[in-house]
Structure 1
Amino acid sequence: MPLPQEFHDIAERVNNWGRWGPDDEIGTLNLITEQVVREAAGCVRSGRRVPLALPLRQDGVQTGVIPGRVNPLHTMTAINQEIFGPGTVATTDDAVTMGLQAATHWDGLAHVSHSGRLYNNRPADSVTAHHGASCLGVEKATPIVSRGVLLDVARAHRTGQLPGGHAITPEDLDAAEEQAGTAVRAGDIVLVRTGQLRHYLAGDRHAYAFPSPGLSLRTPEWFHARDVAAVANDTLTFEIFPPEIENLWMPVHALDLVEMGMPQGQNWNLEELATACAQAGRWTFLLSAVAEPFVGGSGAPVAPVAIL
C-alpha cells in the first residue's frame, strides 16, 4: 500500500532535514546539549539506580517473526584454559550471536527508509550488505545521557497494563505528563510505559508480541513540538501492532527515524522504574542509555540505567 497523504502531511510538519546542517548524522540527539546534561544531573537526589534492560538470553523476546533478529546465542569458547602452559593463570572466554535489536535496544537512523531516502535526505542504498550503514550508523550516536521522563500511560489510565489494541494518542501523553507533574522539554528522553512487558515477564513472549499497544500516527508531532531527543517504550514493535490503519506498516518508525531523525527504543523494562517513580513521587531522573557503537549498525543493544 502506498503511503497515504495523511502520512506525507505529518512528515512535512515534523521534518528536520537540514536543521543541523546537510552533513548531520545524529538528528535530535543534537538537542542533548551540555546545558541539558548539567540540568539532568540535578535530578539525582537519592542515588537509586534502576536498570531498564532485559537480560540477554536465548529465550528472549524474539519469536522468529522478524527474519534474522535472533535471540542471543551464548557460546563458551574457552573454559579455564591455561593458554600460557600448565600451572599458569587460566582464562574463560565466551562469544555471542544475536540480532543487534534482539532485546533492549535503540533503533538507529539507518534502520528505516521510505521513498528511497533515509534521514537528512541520505539515499537508502547507502546501506550495503558488506559495510552496513555507510552513513547514519549507530556508532555516530553521541553518548546518550540526558534527563529522562517516564510517561506512565498505563497508570494514567488507572490500569497496570494497556489492552493490546490501544493506540497511544497525544491526549494519552498529555494525561501522563500531567500526572507526572512535569513538562517534557527540549533534549529530554521520554520513556512511555504501556505495561505490555508484563506478558513477557510472566513467561508469554507471544502475547507480548501480538497484539500490542503502541504509539499512534499522531504522536510524532507531539514529540516534535517538544523537541524530544529520543523516545523508548516497553513493547516489541514501538508503535501499535497490528497497525491502526490497515496495511500501513511502521509509519511511526518512518516519521520518527526518517523525517525527524529521532532515535527510538524498544523492549525497555519500565516496571521497576514505574514503582520507583511512584514511591518517590517524581517521574524525572538522570538517564544513561549509551548505544553500543557497532560501526555501520542500524541499531544497537543498550543497558539503560535511570538514576533517581
Structure 2
Amino acid sequence: MTSRRRFLMQAAAFGGVALAVRPGVSPARAAAQSGSAVDYAAMYRERRNWGRWGANDQVGAVNLITAEKRRAAAALVQTGRTVSLSRTFEPPQHFMTKSSLGPGGGYVMDYLGFIYHGVTITHIDALCHIWDDDGMWQGRDPDVEVTTQGAHFGDITHWKEGIITKGVLIDVPRHRGEPHVSIEKPVTGEELEAIAQAENVTVEPGDALLVHSGWGAVALLDNALLEPIAEACAEENRWSFLFQALPLNVAGGTGSPVNPIAMF
C-alpha cells in the first residue's frame, strides 16, 4: 500500500478534511509512529473518529470548526488581500453552444464533462469517497451506502455551508532553503513542529493545515496550488490567514471541485 493511499484512508477514517486537526495528537508523535515497525492498522483504528460525534454524524472533523472558530479566523483579515489555491480548471470535455437572441444578439452556454477525483482538478473529497476493510466513515457498508445513483451517507452536501476557518501554512522548502522536498529527505513530524515554531504559528483544533512541499498539496483537499500562498505568506511575513473552501452542494456527491481562497 502506498503512503499516499495510507494517508487518504487515515484521513477519511478520522472524519473530515485532512486540513482539520484532531486535538490531542502530536504531529511529531504521529509521524514517529507511522514507520514500518509499527502496526499501522492498530494505530489507524485507535486514532479514527468514528462515533466521536455520534454514530450518525456525517460532518466529521469539520465539527471542530465552530462559529467561534470562524469569528476568530475572520479577525485575521487585515489587508483584504486574497490568494487562490486552485489550479486552472481545464475539463477534458468542454463544448460550447451558441444561440441567437434576435438581430445582433445572442448567448453562449458551456457543457463540461469531467471526473474531479484525480490529479488535475483542485477538489475536496467527501467522507464517503474512500474506505478500507472496516468500511467507510462510521463503519458503514459502501455496498449499501454508495450506489450508481450517488452516496447516501457522508456525501459532500454535509459541508454545503463551507469550510471557513483559520489557515496555517507550513512552508517546508522555504525553511530548508531548498526548492522542494525530496524522497531522500522526507518531512518528519518534528520538522513540521520546528517550522511552525519558526513561523510563530500555532496549529489548533479546527485549523486548516496546508503543508507546502514544493510539489503541491496531498490531503483531502487534493491538487491545491500552494506556490502562490507560499509567496504571499513570505511577502506578508505571516503564515496564518482566513481560509475558505466552498464545495458545490452536489446531492450524493463524493466530493466537489473547489476554489480555496486565503485572505490576509
In structure 1, how many angstroms separate the alpha carbons of the residues matched to 2:43 and 2:146?
A: 29
Q: Deviations along 1:180-205, whole A, 9 cap, x unmatched?
A: 21110011011110111xxxxxxxxx
Which of 120, 125, 148 is matched with 2:143 structurally?
Answer: 125
**Shift in Å at residue 133 of structure 1?**
1.2
Distance verdict in 2 for CA 1:164–1:143, change over 3 Å: same
Q: What letter matches 1:173 in structure 2?
A: L
Q: Deviations along 1:33-74, whole A, 9 cap, x unmatched?
A: 0000000001101110011100111xxxxxxxxxxxxx5321
In structure 2, how many angstroms separate the alpha carbons of the residues matched to 1:22 and 1:34?
A: 23
In structure 1, how many angstroms separate the alpha carbons of the residues matched to 2:187 and 2:130?
A: 21
2:167 — aligned with what? 148
1:266 — aligned with what? 222
In the alignment, is the contact (CA less than 8 A) between 1:156 and 1:175 conserved in 2? Answer: no
Q: Deviations along 1:4-60, whole A, 9 cap, x unmatched?
A: 972222113312111111110010000000000000001101110011100111xxx
Q: After the TM superposition, list the runs of 4 or more consecutive aligned residues in structure 1 that deviate by more than 6 angstroms.
A: none
In structure 2, how many angstroms separate the alpha carbons of the residues matched to 1:110 and 1:181?
A: 35
In the alignment, is the contact (CA less than 8 A) between 1:116 and 1:124 conserved in 2? Answer: no
- TM-score of the superposition, structure 1-length normalised? 0.69
- Listed as ranges, the gaps of 5+ residues in structure 1 are 58-70, 197-233, 240-263
**Shift in Å at residue 166 of structure 1?**
4.8
Which of 102, 108, 112 is matched with 1:96 structurally?
Answer: 112
Distance verdict in 2 for CA 1:13–1:116, change over 3 Å: closer
Q: Secondary structure at the match of 2:69?
A: helix
In structure 1, how many angstroms separate the alpha carbons of the residues matched to 2:51 and 2:162?
A: 22
1:302 — aligned with what? 258
Sequence identity, in percent? 31
Q: Deviations along 1:87-138, whole A, 9 cap, x unmatched?
A: 3841110110111224111111111100141111211213434222111111
Q: Deviations along 1:247-266, whole A, 9 cap, x unmatched?
A: xxxxxxxxxxxxxxxxx212
Correspondence 1:82 to 2:115: no
In the alignment, is the contact (CA less than 8 A) between 2:116 and 2:122 conserved in 1? Answer: no
User: What RMSD, in angstroms, separates the aligned Cα atoms of the two structures?
Assistant: 2.0
1:31 — aligned with what? 64
**Which one is further off, 45-54 or 288-297?**
288-297
Which of 182, 186, 192 is matched with 2:211 structurally?
Answer: 192
Correspondence 1:170 to 2:189: yes
In the alignment, is the contact (CA less than 8 A) between 2:86 and 2:260 conserved in 1? Answer: yes
In structure 1, how many angstroms separate the alpha carbons of the residues matched to 2:173 and 2:54?
A: 38
Q: Secondary structure at the match of 2:234?
A: helix
Distance verdict in 2 for CA 1:299–1:42, change over 3 Å: same
In the alignment, is the contact (CA less than 8 A) between 1:149 and 1:191 conserved in 2? Answer: yes
In the alignment, is the contact (CA less than 8 A) between 2:181 and 2:213 conserved in 1? Answer: yes
In structure 2, how many angstroms separate the alpha carbons of the residues matched to 1:116 and 1:127?
A: 14
- TM-score of the superposition, structure 2-length normalised? 0.80
- Listed as ranges, the gaps of 5+ residues in structure 2 are 7-35
Q: What letter matches 1:170 in structure 2?
A: G
Correspondence 1:21 to 2:54: yes
Distance verdict in 2 for CA 1:191–1:123, change over 3 Å: same
Q: What letter matches 2:111 in structure 1?
A: A
**Shift in Å at residue 158 of structure 1?**
1.9
In the alignment, is the contact (CA less than 8 A) between 2:181 and 2:187 conserved in 1? Answer: no
Q: What letter matches 1:153 in structure 2?
A: V
Which of 148, 152, 158 is matched with 1:134 structurally?
Answer: 152
**Shift in Å at residue 268 of structure 1?**
0.8
In structure 2, how many angstroms separate the alpha carbons of the residues matched to 1:13 and 1:179?
A: 31
**Shift in Å at residue 292 of structure 1?**
1.6
In structure 1, how many angstroms separate the alpha carbons of the residues matched to 2:165 and 2:144?
A: 30
**Shift in Å at residue 267 of structure 1?**
1.0
Distance verdict in 2 for CA 1:294–1:265, change over 3 Å: same
Q: What letter matches 1:180 in structure 2?
A: E
Q: Secondary structure at the match of 1:187?
A: coil
